[in-house]
Structure 1
Amino acid sequence: MRHMKSIKHFNRTRSHYKLMFRNMCNSLIKYEKIKTTLNKAKELKKIIEPIINLSKIDNFNNRKLAFSLLRSKFSLFKLFDNLRKKFINRNGGYTRIIKYKYRSGDNALIAIIEFV
């Protein structure tokens, strides 16, 4: 049975899953808009929103926690300096998922995930 298994593994090992979504988080912070499949965008939303909540309170501990998740100094500085000002008065819902089109190879639904 599938009780209490909320994350999708996308037919990858746990280490590959973590690296893939770490890379997607860094890309989303860097470009503020990325294209990916709909299922990956929904899973990315669950991962990136708690990281943005960390950035709203700028202290050393939150920076350490965010760096342990992102592993990128550029993303960390952009998150705590630029994006923090954008979301400081917002209680949640920092990202938006827009359905874009179907991929021609395997007919997967492509979505755009971006910051609000």
Structure 2
Amino acid sequence: MRHGHGYRKLGRTSSHRAALLKNLAIAIIKSEKIETTLPKAKELRSYVEKLITRARKGDSNAHRAVFASIQDKASTNRLVTEVAPKYVGRNGGYTRIVKTRLRRGDAAQMATIELVSAE
């Protein structure tokens, strides 16, 4: 029974799952919109929103904390200097998931996950 189980395993080992989430996070920071499977998108939402919340302060400690998670200098810099400051007045809900199609081949439910435009 999975009472209180807090994450999706996605059919991967823990190190593979961590690498997958890190690479998806880098991709969404760079392009602001990606298409992936629905379970991956739902798991990525939590991961990216925590990163954005950390990056909102914009100080050197925020840089350090974000870089420790995604280990990509360009994406870290873009997140802390360009993306996160747009969400300073917003308490969470930085991403949107939209179901798109069934993937041909294995009929997996696909979804786009994108950063919400801040007003």
Counterpart residue identity of residue 58, structure 2: D
> Separation in 1 of the partners of 2:77 and 2:63?
9
CA RMSD of aligned residues (A): 0.9
Amino acid at match of 1:71: Q
Which residue in the other structure is 1:96 paired with? 96
Q: Please, which runs of 5 or more residues in structure 1 have no aligned partner?
A: none
Match of 2:54 in 1: 54
1:13-44 per-residue CA deviation (whole Å, 9 max, x = no partner) reads 11000000100000000010000001110000
Equivalent residue number for residue 10 of structure 1: 10
Report if the CA contact (8 A) 2:35-2:111 is conserved.
yes
Q: For the Cα contact (< 8 Å) 2:10–2:39, is it kept in 1?
A: no
Aligned to 1:78: 78
Taking the aligned partners of 2:22 and 2:64, their CA distance within structure 1 comes to 15
SS of residue in 1 equivalent to 2:47: helix
Deviations 1:69-115, CA, capped at 9 Å, x for gaps: 01000111100111123111111100000111110111111100000
- Identity percentage of aligned residues: 40
Match for residue 40 of structure 2? 40
Task: Give the TM-score taking structure 1 as reference length.
Answer: 0.95
Q: Distance in 2 between matches of 1:8 and 1:91?
A: 24
Query: Deviation above 4 Å: which 4+ runs of structure 1?
Result: none
Structure 2 spans left out of the alignment, 5+ residues:
none
| Count of residue pairs the alignment pairs up | 116
